[in-house]
Structure 1
Amino acid sequence: MELIIRILTFLESVIYHILRPVFWWVYRKQPPKIALIKNPILQLSAVKIAEKIRQKELSSETVILAYIERIKEVNPLLNAVVENRFEAAIQDARACDKKLATGEVTAKELEIEKPLFGVPVTVKESCALKGLSHTGCTLARAGIKANYDSLSVLSLKTAGAIPLCVTNTPELCLGFESQNPLFGTTNNPYDIRKTAGGSSGGEGALLGSSSSLIGVGSDIAGSIRLPAHLNGVFGHKPTPGIISIEGHLPFCDGVEFQKYLVIGPLARYAEDLALAVKVMANRNTAALRLDEPVDVKSLKIRYMEAVEESFGLISVSEDIKRVIRDGARYLEGIGADVERVMIPELTDSLDIGMALFFGMKEMPQLLLDPEDPKHESNPISELGKLLFGLSRHNSSAILFKLLRDVHAFIPQSKLPSYRGKVQKLERIFTELLGTNGVFLFPTFVRSAPLHDQLTLQLAGALYCLIFNVLGFPATHVPMGLDSEGLPVGVQVVACPFQDRLCLAVAKELENGFGGWVPPPQAAV
């Protein structure tokens, strides 16, 4: 255990508890609810919509207009959208409908070659979408637009999908709350006083509010899974290297960085998540054997409700422990081999993750100076400015840069020891799961906290970060609402290249527990 890290996380927890009355007072008023979901199209999965478009039961234009209207309804409360291409999307939809009407394409051809023909998608601003904002949500890049499509976006377009907009993130994706000095803060659709998470928070908020079907996200320490958890939707962190990260901002050539960073989808429905992974993996689909059926009854299901209690760590809420137990019992009830396990080595996940993440040899520039974007701002100076409201950076970006500069207070001489611990965990999980097992584990320690509280609960990141370090695929699965009416769920982990097992279990748990639950909505 690294004492300095644990002392810092303990102090964070103390500050959080001291400030809870302040947060309660600031956010004591009941917030407005998002608009009622009136259009039944908004309740259909992407898979079903694509089929209806192919069969000419729905026009693409009708679908695109429904989602544009929905985004316009909810975004004033959510602040999830950075920039849209609504008019261009309508023209794209009309072109799709014309191709079907004239017989230029057939339903059979589309099902095989363009399974998302005419279906709307949304994209995290850090993933290049040609013609739209690509700033990384940092002032140093204000006004910059992408002049090409990232390969993940291009794969979706090639499959017939129609992008609608790009969505909000933290500054350079550095943080677990989507707020930045350029575009402000994104709110949670279940309670706009709460965070939508980060760094794919804009995607999470749109999906949770029924304003998107499939979102392109990225994940270097939980940035797909955490927003999926907080906004009640599905999110998949794939095996590294399966989906191209070309066109992502930030980016660097470091081997470790490229192992930890992945691009993957978020979705409201499990079948859409599986289809999106297949489309975005492109030529690597065969490596994942995504077309092979999975018999969930024949799988090994191993689970843990939390890591062992340890100084500086945050306890997992009883609601999250409950849904993990419920999921395990359900899978056991259908015939799967289910066993609760204890893996003591996971207690050091926070230390391992921080040591290796902030000990990477190569990382992108993190705190771009707005006056001189080729250089970084001084984090100590920016921290001082922040105290007086004068910094042009986010608190999380400043904290991230500080931790990077001091290697999270962990001597570099200890890195070999932590790499050895990672190798030991890899062996443990490989033996535990093999090619036919999954691991149920928390995604985070609780449901969505109030804005600015997440920075004081960073120790909870260990539940996601460790699987970026290990390079294992993981899917967040929504499992209903907690006692506060906020989404909670479970993380489903498998060995590398066994993504299909995560996706199959996600679909089975959706069958058993209902998956995405619409947020509270205002009366008409």
Structure 2
Amino acid sequence: ANPSAASRDSRVALSDRLISMVMRVLLGTIRPLTGICFEIVYRLFVKRRRVPPLESPLLGMSAVALADAIRRREVTSEAVVRASIDRMRLVHPIINAVVWERYEAALQDARRVDAMLDSDPDNPEWSREAKPFLGVPATVKEAFGLVGGTQSVGLWLRTSIRSERDAVCVERMKSAGCIPLCLTNVSELCMWWESHNRVNGITGNPYDSRRIAGGSSGGEGANVGAGCAPVGLGSDIGGSIRMPAFFNGVFGHKATAYMIPNAGQYPDAIAEGRYFMLSGPIVSHAEDLLPMVRLMAGPENSARLLIRPSDPRPDVKRLKIYYMEDSGDSIWCSPVEPRIRECIRQAAEHLRADLGLPVQKVQLRKLRLSPHLWSSKMKLSGEERFAVQMGGGVKLNCYLELIKWCLLRSHHTLPAIGLGLFEQFGSENLDRRLAAICDQLKAEMEELLGDDGVLLYPAHPTSAPYHHQPLTLLFNFAYTGIFNVLGLPATSIPMGLDHKGMPIGLQAVANMHNDRYTLLLAELLENKFGGWVRP
């Protein structure tokens, strides 16, 4: 062995430990202090607003149940769509989720559905198998193409752009009978976990308008959580479906890598980012998850996932349950709140005691590196640099933009400018070493989960923070983001409200192509713990 190399490695290890200790003290001091400041400001100077209770029982039904009722002529599609539109108009001043609407066109679509059912009620084209969401209202994240709609994704340079065709997932939703009502708000270029931009403003949480709805599919999460529509279309590259679902008390699913297409979305992944980013559903009822994933994945990928109508329902008795209450000894993420830990323990105990499933607490040490693993994989993905996207194809000078922001002259948000600056730093060698650790973690998880395992894990360490507070909690997204770079399916599952009256929950993670297990678990836990708590 080389003594000098060993001595150098020892010094590096000591230096790493010292830096870690210093950062732990700093972050352990700064986080609570900034949290207290946000608490004081918002409690004293900003009034809490909560969306009103649901006006119509139709708003509390699942999409599948609504479609069945429409099919049986117990209710008209027009009545359902009108109830959703009325609800959106009522809550919009509180949550600011809708950025473009087609309400009159949607009502015309609904009337056509009703007319077709009246004239030919037994036509097999209207069956549950052919159109599982017949006549049901849906909302769509503004990142997706919807004919005639905006697609600014919160970028000032794109305010005049209109979609000329539907995104693939929008086409598939329409073919399944969904009636799109509107497009919903996002974070700038869909790369931050609060939905705020200079074009459409900031989206509030339906349970407390002072708090975030999440991002980047925050408008979808807020709309579905507020009871405006039973189903919505989002996308997820770092938790952008699962975080809004968690913050707004509903369900969201990120599928196995490559299983749901992004075509027609902006910005789209063009290289390795296609492995990380997927379109997917946000829904208020767990029974809508499977049919939504099935229609979005398409016939070929549904066959790979074993979620076709002809595939047998998974045998719950086969499942093995593993759980973790946090990511380990990470200094970068907030501590997991006690009530969220309790949710995970309650879910695990229910599955053990009531269903007789084997349950084991585990600790995957590499998960504590989640922020670094996600970042390294993103940097090595070959995707277009964020600063180039901000400049509309020309690299934006983010240093100059930061100065303009300080002078209130910028058309960009601080998180977007910060990301444009952050991506310029780092070492490719370090990124490759971290990417190798990420690959090792994936192998460990695949071995642990096998063909019948599900991991219960926090979807986020805290309930929804106040607006702009994520700037002090930068890396909390890594609880969801890590499963994007691992390519594993993950479902966000609501588990009630915390002491602040805010939604909390967990996420269930399975091995590649085992989405059916996490979707099944969502139904089981909804049956036990109640799922979505109506505002």
Aligned to 2:220: 203
State the Cα distance separating 1:235 from its structure 2 match: 0.3
Could you tell me which runs of 5 or more consecutive residues in structure 2 were left unpaired when the two chains were aligned. 1-12
| Match in the other structure for 2:401 | 382
SS at match of 1:245: coil
Trace 1:178-257 onto structure 2 (pairs within 5 A). 178-254=195-271, 256-257=272-273
1:512 paired with 2:533, answer no
CA drift of 1:422 comes to 2.0
- Look up the match of 1:261: 277
CA distance in 2, matches of 1:366, 1:449: 27
1:61 to 73, 78, 98: 78
Deviations 1:299-339 (A, max 9, x none): 00000001222333321111110000000001112111111
- Secondary structure (helix, strand or coil) at the match of 1:362 reads coil
Secondary structure (helix, strand or coil) at the match of 1:98 reads: helix
Larger displacement relative to structure 2 (47-56 or 416-425): 416-425
Query: Separation in 2 of the partners of 1:107 and 1:77?
Result: 42
Match of 1:391 in 2: 410
For 2:464, the equivalent position in structure 1 comes to 448
SS at match of 1:346: helix
Tell me, yes or no, if structure 1 residue 299 matches structure 2 residue 314: no
Please say if residues 12 and 456 of structure 1, whose CA atoms lie closer than 8 Å, have aligned partners that are also in contact: no
The match for 1:40 among 57, 64, 81 is 57
- How far is the alpha carbon of 1:385 from its aligned partner? 2.0
TM-score by length of 1: 0.94
| Match of residue 522 from structure 1 | none
Matched, 1:433 2:449: yes
- The question of whether the paired residues in 1 share the 8 Å contact of 2:379 and 2:431 is answered with no
When structure 1 is superposed on structure 2, of 417-426 and 39-48 the one drifting more is 417-426
CA deviation map 1:53-85 (0-9, x unaligned)? 111111101100010001011011100000000
Contact kept? 2:49, 2:207, Cα under 8 Å: no
Which residue is equivalent to 2:336? 316
**Cα separation, partners in 2 of 1:56 and 1:437, compared to 1, 3 Å:** same
CA RMSD of aligned residues (A): 2.0
Greater RCO (CA < 8 Å, at least 6 residues apart):
1
Q: Which residue of 1 aligns with 2:367?
A: 346
Specify whether residues 248 and 366 from structure 1 end up closer, same or farther in structure 2 by C-alpha distance, changes over 3 A only. Answer: farther
Deviation string, structure 1 residues 157-197 (Cα, Å, up to 9, x no partner)? 01111000000001110201000000000000000000001
Q: 2:376·2:434 contact (CA, 8 Å) conserved in 1?
A: yes
- Percent of aligned pairs with the same residue? 39
In structure 1, the partner of 2:151 is 134
Match of 2:4 in 1: none
Question: Partner of 2:504 in structure 1?
Answer: 488
Aligned counterpart, 1:336:
357
Residues 473, 497 of structure 1: 8 Å contact kept: yes
Cα distance in 2 between the residues matched to 1:401 and 1:365:
6
- 1:415 corresponding residue in structure 2: 431
Larger radius of gyration: 2
Contact 2:96–2:204 (CA under 8 A) maintained in structure 1: yes
Q: Describe the SS at the equivalent of 1:112.
A: coil
Helix, strand or coil: the match of 1:113?
coil
Contact 2:496-2:533 within 8 A present in 1 as well: yes
Alignment of 1:145-160 (within 5 A): 145-160=162-177
Offset from partner CA, 1:98-126 (integer Å, 9 cap, x none): 11111076367521111111011100000
User: Number of residues paired by the alignment?
Assistant: 513
1:273/1:7 CA distance change after superposition, 3 Å? farther
| Contact 2:155/2:189 (8 A) holds in 1 | yes
In the alignment, does 2:294 pair up with 1:275?
no
Residues 221 and 104 (structure 1 numbering): CA distance in 2 closer, same or farther, change over 3 Å? Answer: same
What is residue 117 of structure 2 aligned with on the other side?
100
Return the offset for 1:463: 1.0
Q: Normalising by the residue count of structure 2, what TM-score does the alignment of the two structures yield?
A: 0.92
In 2, are the aligned partners of 1:99 and 1:105 still within 8 Å (CA)?
no
Instruction: Output the CA distance in 1 between the equivalents of 2:364 and 2:402.
Output: 38
Q: Which residue of 1 aligns with 2:9?
A: none
CA distance in 2, matches of 1:269, 1:508: 12
Deviations 1:345-390 (CA, angstroms, capped at 9, x unpaired): 2122222122222333223544656xx6331321111122222322
Q: Give a deviation string over 1:477-521, Cα, whole Å, max 9, x none.
A: 0000111111000110011111000100010000110000012xx
- Contact kept, 8 Å, 2:386 with 2:420, in 1: the verdict is no
Q: Per-residue deviation at 1:198?
A: 0.2
